[in-house]
Amino acid sequence: MIYIPDGMKEEAALSRTTHMAISAHQDDVEFMAYAPVAACFGKTDAWFGAVIVTDGAGSPRSGLYANYTDEQMKAVRVVEQKKAAFVGEYSFLAMLSQPSRAVKDAGNEAIAAELADLIKRAHPKYLYTHNLADKHETHVATALKVIAALRRLSPKDRPEKVYGCEVWRDLDWMNDEEKVYLDCGPHPNLMRALSAVFDSQIAGGKRYDLAAEGRRLANATFSASHACDTYSALNYAMDLTPLMDADTDIGGYVAGYIDRFKAQVNKTIGKFL
């Protein structure tokens, strides 16, 4: 389904999109890609679009939602995500409603094909998804489906930049010169409002709203050890742009970041031995 908060015609809503995020679950977009949401908020020349791949059926639940069935939870999470899209003034929201097992099925090409169609129609300048060092398997599988989708497209239909953002593992470990800095400082009231609409997750026993904000604040302060804070809130991302090239080895590309981090740690230790 595609939901358009301001009622714009579907093709126009997609084609005006400049920043687009593709996430595994409802609420992932708001936690990992708030920076582009804020960058587009209130603008007429920049628009944010979101794509949610899974159906949310496996969400943990307690309190008010303790006895909800999977079908009831899926319905709740759709409503919550639509609330976020309305509050954030998204250009469009697409929900593919796929089960997690389908996303993690390497042989399932239908999801990549659907994502490729949405990317081509929206043709965003910037695309955000999960980073490939995330510890949540569905997040990694979603990012791989995004890469597969991008490789289906001709270069003219691809975004200029693709970023892998932090959710279930932060990217503080990356070498500073390789981090992509996503400014989450603008409109802090909007940031909190977007996180707060996902009541089923918060009341379900996971304070994602506080954890995501805490990470942003920590990143802003700890991003530089010998300078005053430049940001008030910050997310990190990994540049995945080279992975649009089918000749680039995905595992080797990500391992390169880890290897360079290891080399930097050993170099620092070696200075003082």
Summarize pLDDT for 98-155 with one digit per residue, the tens. 999 999 999 999 999 999 999 999 999 999 999 999 999 999 999 999 999 999 999 9
Residue-wise pLDDT tens digits, 34-70? 999 999 999 999 999 999 999 987 777 677 777 888 8
> In whole angstroms, what is the distance from residue 107 CA to residue 51 CA?
21
Size of the chain, expressed as the number of residues it contains: 273
Residue-wise pLDDT tens digits, 167-192? 999 999 999 999 999 999 999 999 99
> In whole angstroms, what is the distance from residue 185 CA to residue 229 CA?
12
Helices (H), 104-235: 110-122, 137-152, 188-196, 199-202, 208-222
203 pLDDT band, cuts 50/70/90, is confident
> In whole angstroms, what is the distance from residue 82 CA to residue 209 CA?
17
Q: Please say whether the beta carbons of 126 and 163 come within 8 A.
A: yes
Any idea where the domains of the chain sit in the sequence? 2-271
The encoded tokens of residue 257 equal 């970041």
Closest C-alpha among 185, 184, 178 to residue 164: 178
> In whole angstroms, what is the distance from residue 220 CA to residue 241 CA?
24
Q: How many CB atoms lie within 10 A of CB 273?
A: 4
Closest C-alpha among 165, 181, 174 to residue 127: 165
pLDDT at 228: 65
The encoded tokens of residue 161 equal 């930049």
pLDDT at 53: 97
**H/E stretch holding 231:** none
**H/E stretch holding 130:** strand 126-130
- Taking residues 147-166, report their average pLDDT: 98
pLDDT at 64: 77
> In whole angstroms, what is the distance from residue 178 CA to residue 189 CA?
30
Whole-model pTM: value is 0.95
Q: Please say whether the beta carbons of 235 and 216 come within 8 A.
A: yes
Only one residue has tokens 């932090």, namely: 166
- Taking residues 12-29, report their average pLDDT: 97
pLDDT at 130: 98
Q: CATH classification of 2-271 is 3.40.50.10320, yes or no?
A: yes
